[in-house]
């Protein structure tokens, strides 16, 4: 098979890229291949699926804000993404709050809508929230900071990852794009820009060019191959000597659904859904999402040192991780979780860019690689798809949905220009 553009991976980034590439190049044959049976069945489906615009780094802010605007647009166009602007709520100790004081002022100056709550207000608004643990030996052992301040970012929330992925799939198919599920890319085919028909090409004196992909169903030749394979990108890229600069790490989500948690779905003042916002506790960045449509709570925690970098094809959630690591913290701050057990749980993998945490969009002849440092894939998906399309077209700047412009090379590996995110708690 031959095509103009071959996209490897039908996760959120692959489909966003495929859609924008096809939209800009309607006459080109754009083909997506995916080893799984449907769109977004890899790590996209396993994501927490939340989004925020509250960042200090302009890179983060522009990529996320424009994507969020596009999500709203999609809902207006009739795609039901279950978009819910429940907000992000960081619960902070006074010390933590002071540590991010500059970052908060910078975000406000950049127009990020934030509200600050004092402890008493939080206690009034969130039923049974524990804000201090004086005399509680267990809490001391756990090293739990008190909650002195709440910081709410408004233009943030959650959506259905599956629905967003399917929206891109459907728009791409409508434009005449092709998707082949259950086709697995095995290796990239590397040739030379000027092939001579010699054995062993490309030689070091030739300019290498990716010519397509060998799949389990045969070879697909393409003018341009877009690798949007998430944590699996390395399996394709490393053999040709390209470092995706991201490493896979397991992340787990535990779903709780219980009458005792109903208090979290009847909270006034934060959002029109009357639910607890996506909330980040002051210990271990433990986070919980009150899913407003299903009335379930999704809980997760970013474990850094102590959680291996390794590629797993079928990562498994660990109930012990919930019981011994997450639950003790959760239950202290929010006693409504006492004795509530997960009704569902799963594990996916993050692609972690340890250097600066930002996405990567890079090209070499015949190849474009797009990788979103995880936690970012969904919330920046639309902007990244447009940046891939701009890179394909050879434009220096990508125009994003909200009209903002983004310099394509800023996400390059070799010509990178990103600012470190300072709002990390």
Q: How far is the CB of 193 from a copy of itself (least distance, A)?
A: 10
Of residues 322 through 341, those in contact with a copy of itself by CB under 8 A are 324-326, 328-329
Answer yes or no whether residue 308 interacts with a copy of itself by CB under 8 A: yes
Site track for a copy of itself across 205-224, x = CB under 8 A = xxxx----------------
Stretch that binds a copy of itself, among 93-101, 104-112, 269-277, 320-328 (CB under 8 A): 320-328
SS3 per residue for 195-251: CCCCCCCCCCCCCEEEEEEEECCEEEEEEEEEECCHHHHHHHHHHHCCCCCCEEEEE
Q: Count residues near a copy of itself (CB under 8 A).
A: 50
Site track for a copy of itself across 153-182, x = CB under 8 A = ------------------------------
Answer yes or no whether residue 202 interacts with a copy of itself by CB under 8 A: yes
Q: Which of 291, 219, 302, 325 is nearest to 6 (CA)?
A: 219
CA angle 218, 165, 34 (to 5 degrees): 10
Site track for a copy of itself across 113-152, x = CB under 8 A = ----------------------------xxxx--------
Q: Which of 156, 183, 220, 301 contacts a copy of itself by CB under 8 A?
A: 301
Read off the DSSP letter of residue 348: E
Sequence-ordered list of residues with C-beta below 8 angstroms from that of 107, at least 6 positions apart, any chain: 54, 55, 56, 114, 423
Buried b (16+ CB within 10 A) or exposed e, 367-390: bbbbbbbbbbbbbbbbbbbbbbbb
Answer yes or no whether residue 238 interacts with a copy of itself by CB under 8 A: yes
Beta strands in 257-353 (DSSP E): 278-280, 287-291, 296-300, 344-352
| Interatomic CA distance for residues 286 and 301, integer angstroms | 5
Q: How far is the CB of 56 from a copy of itself (least distance, A)?
A: 15
Q: Which of 366, 365, 364, 370 is nearest to 398 (CA)?
A: 370
Of the pair 326, 400, the CB lying nearest a copy of itself is at 326
Q: Which of 70, 242, 254, 350 contacts a copy of itself by CB under 8 A?
A: 242
Answer yes or no whether residue 241 interacts with a copy of itself by CB under 8 A: yes
Answer yes or no whether residue 197 interacts with a copy of itself by CB under 8 A: no
Read off the DSSP letter of residue 133: -
Q: How far is the CB of 404 from a copy of itself (least distance, A)?
A: 26
Q: In whole angstroms, how far apart are CA 143 and each of 133, 136, 284, 303? A: 10, 11, 10, 16
**H or E stretch at 269:** none
Q: How far is the CB of 220 from a copy of itself (least distance, A)?
A: 20
Any idea which residue has 């489906």 for tokens? 45
Burial of 199 (0-12, 13-18, 19+ CB in 10 A): exposed
Of the pair 329, 387, the CB lying nearest a copy of itself is at 329
Stretch that binds a copy of itself, among 100-108, 114-122, 223-231, 316-324 (CB under 8 A): 316-324
Integer distance in angstroms from the first to the last C-alpha of the chain? 48
If you write DSSP's letter for every residue of 83-118 in order, what string do you get? -B---EEEEE-HHHHHHTHHHHHHHHHTT--EEEEE
Site track for a copy of itself across 348-387, x = CB under 8 A = ----x-xx--------x-----------------------
Residue 277 tokens, joined:
């916002």
Q: Which of 109, 320, 339, 394 contacts a copy of itself by CB under 8 A?
A: 320
Of the pair 39, 348, the CB lying nearest a copy of itself is at 348
Stretch that binds a copy of itself, among 63-71, 233-241, 253-261, 384-392 (CB under 8 A): 233-241
Site track for a copy of itself across 53-92, x = CB under 8 A = ----------------------------------------
Of the pair 329, 408, the CB lying nearest a copy of itself is at 329
Query: Given CA atoms 24, 26, 27, 33 in this order, what sign does their dihedral have?
Result: positive
Answer yes or no whether residue 239 interacts with a copy of itself by CB under 8 A: yes
Q: How far is the CB of 156 from a copy of itself (least distance, A)?
A: 24
Stretch that binds a copy of itself, among 10-18, 174-182, 199-207, 397-405 (CB under 8 A): 199-207
Q: In the complex, which residues of this chain contact a copy of itself (CB under 8 A)?
A: 141-144, 190, 196, 198, 200, 202-208, 238-243, 245, 247, 249, 283-284, 286, 301, 303-310, 320-321, 324-326, 328-329, 352, 354-355, 364, 413-414, 416
């Amino acid at each position: 098979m031959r095509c103009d553009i071959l996209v490897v991976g039908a996760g959120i980034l692959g489909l966003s890229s495929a859609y924008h590439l096809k939209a800009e190049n309607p006459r080109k044959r754009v083909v997506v291949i995916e080893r799984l049976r449907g769109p977004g069945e890899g790590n996209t489906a396993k994501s927490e699926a939340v989004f925020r615009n509250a960042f200090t780094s302009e890179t983060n802010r522009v990529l996320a804000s424009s994507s969020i605007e596009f999500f709203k647009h999609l809902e207006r166009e009739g795609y039901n993404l279950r978009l819910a602007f429940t907000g992000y709520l960081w619960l902070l100790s006074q010390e933590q709050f002071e540590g991010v004081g500059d970052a908060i002022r910078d975000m406000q100056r950049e127009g990020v809508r934030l509200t600050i709550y004092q402890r008493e207000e939080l206690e009034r608004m969130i039923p049974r929230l524990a804000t201090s643990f004086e005399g509680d030996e267990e809490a001391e052992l756990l090293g739990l900071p008190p909650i002195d301040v709440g910081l709410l970012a408004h233009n943030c929330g959650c959506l259905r990852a599956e629905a967003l992925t399917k929206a891109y799939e459907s728009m791409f198919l409508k434009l005449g794009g092709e998707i082949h599920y259950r086709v697995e890319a095995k290796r990239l085919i590397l040739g030379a820009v000027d092939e001579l028909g010699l054995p062993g090409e490309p030689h070091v004196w030739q300019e290498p060019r990716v010519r397509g992909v060998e799949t389990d169903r045969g070879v697909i030749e393409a003018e341009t191959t877009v690798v949007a394979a998430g944590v699996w990108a390395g399996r394709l890229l490393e053999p040709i000597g390209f470092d995706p600069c991201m490493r896979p790490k397991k992340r787990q989500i535990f779903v709780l659904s219980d009458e005792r948690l109903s208090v979290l779905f009847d909270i006034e003042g934060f959002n029109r859904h009357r639910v607890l916002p996506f909330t980040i506790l002051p210990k271990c960045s433990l986070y919980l999402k009150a899913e407003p449509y299903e009335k379930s709570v999704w809980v997760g925690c970013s474990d850094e040192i102590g959680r291996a970098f390794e590629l797993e094809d079928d990562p498994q959630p660990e109930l012990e991780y919930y019981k011994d690591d997450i639950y003790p913290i959760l239950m202290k701050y929010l006693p409504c979780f006492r004795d509530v057990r997960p009704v569902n749980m799963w594990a996916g993998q993050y692609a972690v860019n340890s250097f600066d945490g930002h996405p990567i969009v890079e090209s070499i002849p015949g190849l474009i690689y797009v990788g979103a440092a995880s936690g970012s894939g969904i919330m920046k998906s639309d902007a990244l798809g447009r940046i891939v399309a701009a890179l394909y077209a050879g434009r220096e700047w990508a125009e994003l949905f909200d009209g903002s412009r983004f310099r394509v090379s800023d996400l390059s590996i070799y010509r990178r220009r990103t600012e470190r995110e300072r709002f990390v708690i």
